[in-house]
Amino acid sequence: MEATVNQNQIVLKWTIISVITSIVITYVFQFANVDQSSGIKYLSSIPFIIYLFLVQKEYKDQLGGYISFGQAFSTGFKYAIFSGIILAIFTYLYLAILSPQVYEKAMTDAQQKLTDQGQLSSEQIDSAMEISRKYGLIFATVGIVIFDALIGAILSLIGAAIFKHEKPLFITESDEPTVNDPIL
């Protein structure tokens, strides 16, 4: 009897690894005083992308080297959704409770940028900043979930195309994947 493979266990494992990595990167950036407006903050997306492909590969390996396009896509997309939701919750807690000074600095920087541009009156800037302080965290957390879902869908499609290896209807001995098979 063939053992069943639990896709959700694999997804959950890589989601936890991804979230822990993101939390570590967040605090490294904070302690290293990395400017939030610098491009270096996008480096934190690299582990998310790598782990998405790794979750698809691990699921394929657990299935014996065969995976359909749909199975590969759903595995990657589930990972992206779960990671996005948990990271959104962490981001909210981080900015609202754990390190509110980071959020306040971002608000101060945004206000200064609006003032420097000179396109809005001081009343308009104050109104915009009041709304941002009141609802900005909610918009940020919802944005993380939506962004991760969209990027995750695109990357999952790419990964599914890469990892897809349909199982033949009739398997002969020569069709069975081996340890030396380069498609594994």
For 44, what's the count of Cα atoms within 13 Å in the CB-facing half-sphere? 20
The type of residue at 96 is A
102, containing H or E segment: helix 100-117
Pick the most confident of 62-66, 73-77, 165-169: 73-77
DSSP tag of 4 = P
Secondary structure tally for the chain: helices H, strands E: 5, 0
- Domain spans, the chain: 7-99+143-163
Q: Rounded to 5 degrees, what are φ and ψ at 165?
A: -155, 90
pLDDT of residue 22: 93
Torsion of CA 89, 50, 12, 72, to 10 degrees: 120
Question: Is the pLDDT reported for residue 1 higher than 50?
Answer: no
Report percent pLDDT > 70 for the chain. 91
Q: How does the average pLDDT of the chain come out, rounded? A: 87
Residue 17, CA distances (Å) to 65, 72, 173 in order: 23, 19, 37
Question: Is the pLDDT reported for residue 183 higher than 80?
Answer: no
Question: Is the pLDDT reported for residue 111 higher than 90?
Answer: no
